[in-house]
Structure 1
Amino acid sequence: MSAPHGSRRKARPSLYISVDIEADGPIPGPYSMLSFGAAVAGRHEPDGTYLPYDPQERTFYRELRPIGEDFVPEALAVSGLDRARLVREGAEPATALAEFTAWVREVATGAQPVMAGYPASYDWTFLYWYLLRFTGESPFGHSGCLDLKSLYATKANVPLRAVAKGTMPRQLLSTRRHTHHALDDAIEQADLCNNLLAWEP
C-alpha cells in the first residue's frame, strides 16, 4: 500500500565529504588504519542544485596508533608513514574517531553527510569498520557512501573496470598532486568529486 500523498519524508541535502585513508594492509582488523584525512567537497540539494566548496576550508586529519602487530611492507611503503613512531605517538583510535564523528556532524549541520571516495570500497571498509569498532556508530549511517569511480562510469557510459584516472577527460582531474598523504589526497579527491558532479558529458 502506497503512502498517502504528502506523508513521505522530505529529502534532505547531502553533504559530500571526501575521505582518504592510509593503512598497513588490505583489510581492517588484522591490519591497521594509520591515518585518515577528510575534506568537505560540496552540498547537493534535493532539487539537484550542487554547490561546490573550497575543499581546503574544512578539513580533518589524524594519524593513529596501530591496533595490531601485523602489517604488509608494500602497503606501508605507499604512505611512507613510520609505523614505529605511530606506535608511540599515534592518536588512540577511539579518541580520533569520536573527534571525527563530532566534526562530521558539525560540518553537516542541516544536511546528511555522505563519504566520497575513489574508489570508495577500500577507504569505506576501513573507515566504517573503525567507526563501529571504536565508537559504536557511523555518522554516515551504513550506506552513506558515494563511489566516484562508479559515478564516472555511469556518466561516461563505460564499463567500471575500464575506468582509470588516466582515461578521464583532463578537466575532471584535480590540478593538485597525489602525494599519498591522506589529507592531501582527500582534498585532491574533493576536486574530482566537484568536477564529476558538475560534468555533463
Structure 2
Amino acid sequence: MASPDLYFSCDIEADGPIPGPYSMLSFGFSVAGSYDGAVFTHRHPFEKTYYAELKPISDAFEPEALAVSGLDRENLKINGRDPAEAMTDAAAWVREVAREAGAFPVFAAYPLGFDWMWMYHYFVQYAEGGSPFGFSRCLDMKSLYAARGRTQIRDAVKAKMPRGLLSGRRHTHNALDDAVEQAELLQNLMTWDGARAR
C-alpha cells in the first residue's frame, strides 16, 4: 500500500510582495493530518508545529506589508535566525516528521500561491537539500473549497464559506497562529461533502 500524504499547513509573513527584493520575516507550520486516498486522519494542530523568525535579506520593504504582521525589522536584523540555518532546520524537521509518520510531506496553504512562492524560494535558495516538498507537492485550500463547494475561485473566500468549515480561532497574522487556524480549515475541508451540503 502506498504511503499516505501528510499535510503541513503553512503561513508566512513578509515585508513585501515577492521574495528576493523583499524578505520573509516569519513562517509557521502545523501538521493537519494524513490522507491515504480514502480516509483523512486528523492530527491535533498543536501536536507538531514549527515557527521561525528570520533576519531580513535586503534593506527594501513596504511599510504596508510590514504593518500586517507587526514584526520589528530592526529587532529581526539582530535577533532573527539566519535564513540558511532556519530553512535547513525547517526542511529537516519536515522530513523527520513525515518519516516518523511513514508519509509523504505535502505543503498546504490558503491561498497557496503566496505562501508557496515564499517558502519554495527560501528552501531552494537557503536550505541544504532544497525543498522537502519537491517543486510541486502542495495543496491549495482555496481551490479545494471551490471544487468541493462547486463555486468560483472569486467566491472561494472565508467570508462566503459555511461557518462550520471555519476554525474558531482568530486570524492574528502571527504565522504559527494562522498555520494552526488553516490546519483546522483543511481538516474540515477534507471531510466535507460540499456537493451533498448543497
- TM-score, scaled to structure 2: 0.95
Aligned to 1:152: 145
Secondary structure of the 1:149 match is: helix
SS at match of 2:71: coil
- Alpha-carbon displacement from aligned partner over 1:163-188 (angstroms, at most 9, x marks no partner): 11010000100001110000000000
Once the two structures are superposed, the pairs formed by residues 133-148 of structure 1 within 5 Å of their partners are: 133-135=125-127, 136-148=129-141
* Alignment TM-score, normalising by the size of structure 1: 0.93
Cα offset for 1:137? Answer: 1.2
Query: In the alignment, what sits opposite 2:114?
Result: 122
Paired residue for 2:78? 88
Q: Which residue of 2 aligns with 1:27?
A: 18
- Equivalent of 1:37 in 16, 28, 38: 28
In the TM superposition, structure 1's runs of 4+ consecutive aligned residues that sit over 3 Å from their partners are none
Q: Which has the larger radius of gyration?
A: 1
Distance 1:154 1:49 in 2: 18
Which residue is equivalent to 1:11?
2
SS at match of 2:3: coil
Letter in structure 2 aligned against 1:19: C
Is 1:73 aligned to residue 53 of structure 2?
no
The sequence identity of aligned pairs, in percent, is: 57
Q: Tell me the number of residue pairs that the alignment of Structure 1 and Structure 2 aligns.
A: 191
Find out whether 1:186 has 2:179 as its counterpart: yes
SS in 1 for 2:116: helix
Can you list the C-alpha shifts for 1:53-102, whole angstroms capped at 9, x where unaligned? 10011100000000000000000000000011001110000000011011
* 1:45, distance to aligned residue in structure 2 (A): 1.1
Give the secondary-structure state (helix, strand or coil) at the position aligned to 1:95. helix
SS of the residue corresponding to residue 102 of structure 1 reads: helix
**CA apart distance, 1:11:** 3.5
Gaps of at least 5 residues in structure 2 are none
Taking the aligned partners of 1:154 and 1:11, their CA distance within structure 2 comes to 25
Counterpart-to-counterpart distance in 2, 1:69 and 1:22: 16
Q: Report the 3-state secondary structure (helix = DSSP H, G, I; strand = E; otherwise coil) of the residue aligned with 2:27.
A: strand
Once the two structures are superposed, residues 121-140 of structure 1 have per-residue CA deviations (whole angstroms, 9 ceiling, x without a partner) of: 00000000000000251100
> For residues 144 and 82 of structure 1, what CA distance do their matches in structure 2 show?
32
Distance 1:40 1:31 in 2: 27
Q: 1:41, 1:165 → 2: CA distance?
A: 18
Residue of structure 1 in register with 2:41 after alignment: 51
1:66 is paired with a residue whose SS is coil
Q: Letter of the aligned partner of 2:87 in structure 1?
A: L
User: 5+ residue gaps in structure 1?
Assistant: 1-9
